[in-house]
Structure 1
Amino acid sequence: MDIIKVEGLTKYYGKSRGIEDLNLEVKKGDIFGFIGPNGSGKSTTIRLLLGLISPSKGRGEIFNKDIKKHRYENLKNIGYMPSEIMFYKGMKVKDVISLSAKLYNKNTEKEAKKLCERFNLDCNRKVDELSLGNRKKVSIVCAFQHKPSLYILDEPTSGLDPLMQKEFFQLIKERNLGGATIFLSSHVLSEIQLYCNKAGIIREGKLIACDTVANLSSTQAKRVNLFGIRDIEYIEGITDIHRNNTGINFLYSGNINNLIEHLNTLDLEDLTITEPSLDEIFLHYYDEGGEK
């Protein structure tokens, strides 16, 4: 069952591009990572899904209901964390949480208390006195206290310290095991690798890849480090060359036998051949030549 489905979704801000012809499906029970650099269109997509802005063209559905026509009905069963946290000044944490609960017309007092204790949040402090990390904690409680079936989270871990990030993802896994679907935008690739089963990569407003994290991470390329030399004759398959004080390294995706034959002709001090990092695997999707 598709929890989120969009077809040809496009948004322009005047002449400026938001997103273009986005096609996307998120199945029930997915933890879906939405990856892209800042300005790629992640937040625009999320605001369209929530009905906060209107598309220039295209359509979208959440829970098989149109994102615009059934906006308020959909929002009742969505937990949303924006990337930028803003609250009414002068309000106490407990008042913000209570106001959020009233918007869903639910009594969430018991669950809110558990979440505040879990994230070490002082409910009696005023929100404008809080650090970014503690404001994020308030946002977590507001998004999770009513136990929705879909969570839409826009860069949710920015500002959280490592311990709270770990606790946050533990909460996500618990809700997911309970049947909830997670849509998580991030530019932190390690988060996607560790916690998501599927991912979409967006660049300059266009979805350029969408698959399981395992398939997106698979590659034939190897990272080759050569020590004692700073130059190498080009052979097919060599890309992303870097030089440093100890030697040269590059990505190689050609025939490994051809590479070894060529390396045998060089006066090397040492060499290593390793799997590329996740960052390197994904970054080729962002490069002009990496679109698939």
Structure 2
Amino acid sequence: MNLLTVNDLTKKFGQFTALDGVNIDVKEGEIYGFIGPNGAGKSTTIRVLLGILKATKGEAKIFGKNVWKDAVDIHKHIAYVPGDVNLWPNLTGGEVIDLFVKLRGGNHRSKRKELIEKFNLDPTKKCRTYSKGNRQKVALVAAFASEADLYILDEPTSGLDPLMEQVFQEYVLDVKQRGKSVLLSSHILSEVEKLCDRVGIIRQGKMIETGTLDELRHLTRTNMLVETKNPITSINEIKGIHDLVHQGKALSFQVDAEELDNVIKHISRFGIVKLESAPPTLEDLFMRHYEQKDGSGAGGGT
């Protein structure tokens, strides 16, 4: 069953088309990754889903209800975390968390306490004293302490350190185990890979691909730069190598994740002098894989 459905969603600001026929569906108990470069239209889509912006065309429903007309009812059952959290400066973090939890009709004191400890948050400080990361923590604690059916998370780990990102991932998976749904907007591919059942990719306001990560396996290639004592032979015959380029004495190429072991074994026979590897950024991937598919030049929102 689909908890969230978006059909042919279009949003224009004057002559500018921020969203161009976006389609999304999030099933019950599913973590859906909504990914794309910054400025692709992720946050604009989410603002429509939250009833903040009215769509120019198309349909968006959450729990079978219209996101614009029934926004008040829908908000009783969703938790939202933006990428840049603004809080009341004179309230403490704990007071803000209590306010958000009460608005959703919950009172989970033990869960609240557990989350505050896990996220290493001091709830007694005034919000004006918090760093960006601590403001994110307040919003995340409030969201996960609530009894929501759908969690809409828009770049939620912005400003968090790697340890806190791990805590965040634990709670997202906990939400899924309890049968809840998550729409996770992100430009961090590794975060999406760890958490999401399906992924929808947006670029310049258009949905380019949707599927499981297995179906979108080309997104998980590793960039490699290798320099060896002896020239590498027969590398073209190795399975899973793409975009091979000679750079002086070095070779640069991409490797499919499942073939990485075989490639390393092959090149190690030639005496490795230098080896650099890095995951591709989403921006790189969009430029490489989708530029030809999306030749419209239409701009995207934020």
Common fold: TM-score over 0.5 = yes
- In structure 2, stretches of 5+ residues that fail to align are 232-240, 257-269, 296-302
In structure 2, C-alpha distance between the alignment counterparts of 1:220 and 1:155, rounded to whole Å: 20
Q: 1:247 aligns with which of 236, 243, 250?
A: 250
- The aligned residue for residue 289 of structure 1 is 292
1:63 deviates by 1.0
1:116 maps to a residue whose letter is I
Q: Does structure 1 retain, via aligned residues, the 8 Å contact 2:223–2:280?
A: no
Change in Cα spacing, 1:170 to 1:282, as seen in structure 2 (3 Å) is: same
In structure 1, C-alpha distance between the alignment counterparts of 2:103 and 2:116, rounded to whole Å: 19
- The aligned residue for residue 265 of structure 2 is none
- The aligned residue for residue 262 of structure 1 is none
In structure 1, C-alpha distance between the alignment counterparts of 2:109 and 2:140, rounded to whole Å: 14
Change in Cα spacing, 1:100 to 1:285, as seen in structure 2 (3 Å) is: same
Equivalent positions of 1:1-292 (< 5 A) are: 1-218=1-218, 240=243, 242-250=245-253, 279=280, 283-287=284-288, 288-289=291-292
Change in Cα spacing, 1:181 to 1:278, as seen in structure 2 (3 Å) is: farther
- SS where residue 85 of structure 2 aligns? coil
1:100 deviates by 1.3
In structure 1, C-alpha distance between the alignment counterparts of 2:34 and 2:113, rounded to whole Å: 30
Identify which range, 98-107 or 83-92, moves more after superposition: 98-107
- SS where residue 200 of structure 2 aligns? strand
In structure 2, C-alpha distance between the alignment counterparts of 1:142 and 1:108, rounded to whole Å: 10
Identify which range, 148-157 or 217-226, moves more after superposition: 217-226
Identify which range, 87-96 or 177-186, moves more after superposition: 87-96
- SS where residue 215 of structure 1 aligns? coil
1:51 maps to a residue whose letter is G
Change in Cα spacing, 1:115 to 1:20, as seen in structure 2 (3 Å) is: same
- SS where residue 170 of structure 2 aligns? helix
Identify which range, 107-116 or 40-49, moves more after superposition: 107-116
Change in Cα spacing, 1:27 to 1:286, as seen in structure 2 (3 Å) is: farther
Superposed CA offset, 1:231-251 (max 9, x none): xxxxxxx97465545323245
1:246 maps to a residue whose letter is K
Change in Cα spacing, 1:135 to 1:220, as seen in structure 2 (3 Å) is: closer
In structure 2, C-alpha distance between the alignment counterparts of 1:286 and 1:66, rounded to whole Å: 35
1:103 deviates by 2.2
1:291 deviates by 5.5
After TM superposition, the score normalised by the length of structure 2 is 0.79
1:10 maps to a residue whose letter is T
- SS where residue 25 of structure 2 aligns? strand
Q: Does structure 2 retain, via aligned residues, the 8 Å contact 1:285–1:291?
A: no
1:249 maps to a residue whose letter is S
Q: Does structure 2 retain, via aligned residues, the 8 Å contact 1:8–1:57?
A: yes
Change in Cα spacing, 1:251 to 1:17, as seen in structure 2 (3 Å) is: same
1:270 deviates by 7.0
In structure 1, C-alpha distance between the alignment counterparts of 2:219 and 2:132, rounded to whole Å: 38
Change in Cα spacing, 1:245 to 1:78, as seen in structure 2 (3 Å) is: same
Superposed CA offset, 1:252-286 (max 9, x none): 99xxxxxxxxxxxxxxx679xxxx97637984444
1:63 maps to a residue whose letter is F
- SS where residue 215 of structure 2 aligns? helix
Determine which structure has greater relative contact order: mean sequence separation of CA pairs < 8 Å that are 6+ residues apart, divided by chain length: 2
Identify which range, 135-144 or 210-219, moves more after superposition: 210-219
Q: Does structure 2 retain, via aligned residues, the 8 Å contact 1:217–1:282?
A: no
Change in Cα spacing, 1:241 to 1:15, as seen in structure 2 (3 Å) is: farther
Q: Does structure 1 retain, via aligned residues, the 8 Å contact 2:36–2:202?
A: yes
1:102 deviates by 3.1
Q: Does structure 2 retain, via aligned residues, the 8 Å contact 1:208–1:285?
A: no
In structure 2, C-alpha distance between the alignment counterparts of 1:281 and 1:35, rounded to whole Å: 9
- In structure 1, stretches of 5+ residues that fail to align are 230-237, 254-268
Change in Cα spacing, 1:159 to 1:222, as seen in structure 2 (3 Å) is: closer
1:205 deviates by 0.3
1:90 deviates by 1.6
2:280 maps to a residue whose letter is D
Change in Cα spacing, 1:184 to 1:103, as seen in structure 2 (3 Å) is: same
Superposed CA offset, 1:39-62 (max 9, x none): 000000111111111111111111
Counting matched residue pairs gives 270
1:28 deviates by 1.0
